[in-house]
Amino acid sequence: QKEVEQNSGPLSVPEGAIASLNCTYSDRGSQSFFWYRQYSGKSPELIMFIYSNGDKEDGRFTAQLNKASQYVSLLIRDSQPSDSATYLCAVISSGSARQLTFGSGTQLTVLP
C-alpha cells in the first residue's frame, strides 16, 4: 500500500472555478502535511503546509486536514490558467525527522 495516495487526474476545471485536490495517507501518526506545485520541467515548489486539523487559508489556496480520516485536501479558488501544473501532496510520517513522502501528484489543467 502506497503511503500517500492521490488521484493522478488529469483534472480539468474552467477558469474561475474551484479546483479540489485530494490526498490520503496511511500513517496515522503523521504530523506534517504539505502541498507542492510542479510545473512541467521544473522543480517542486512549496505552496502550503498544514499541521492541525481544520482549514488553513493563504490567498486563493486553502488546505484542509482531517487526521481522523487521514485526509488532506487543497482547494484553489478562482482558478487561473497559470495554476495548471501537477500538485504533489507530501507527508512527514511519524518517526521521520524531515523526510517527505510524496504522492504521485494530480495534474491540473485550468481551461481559459
Partner 1 sequence: DAGVIQSPRHEVTEMGQEVTLRCKPISGHDYLFWYRQTMMRGLELLIYFNNNVPIDDSGMPEDRFSAKMPNASFSTLKIQPSEPRDSAVYFCASTRQGSGNTIYFGEGSWLTVV
Q: What is the DSSP letter of 81?
A: G
Contact call for residue 17 and partner 1 (CB under 8 A): no
C-alpha cell belonging to residue 29: 501518526
Answer whether 34's CB lies under 8 Å from 48's CB.
Answer: yes
Query: By C-beta, is 39 or 78 nearer to partner 1?
Result: 39
Site string for partner 1, 29-68 (x = CB under 8 A): ---x-x-------xxxxx--x-------------------
Cα separations in angstroms, 89 against 15, 16, 28, 63, 103:
23, 23, 16, 11, 5
63-92 residues near partner 1, rule: CB under 8 A: 88, 92
Which residues make up the interface to partner 1 (CB under 8 A)? 32, 34, 42-46, 49, 88, 92, 97-105
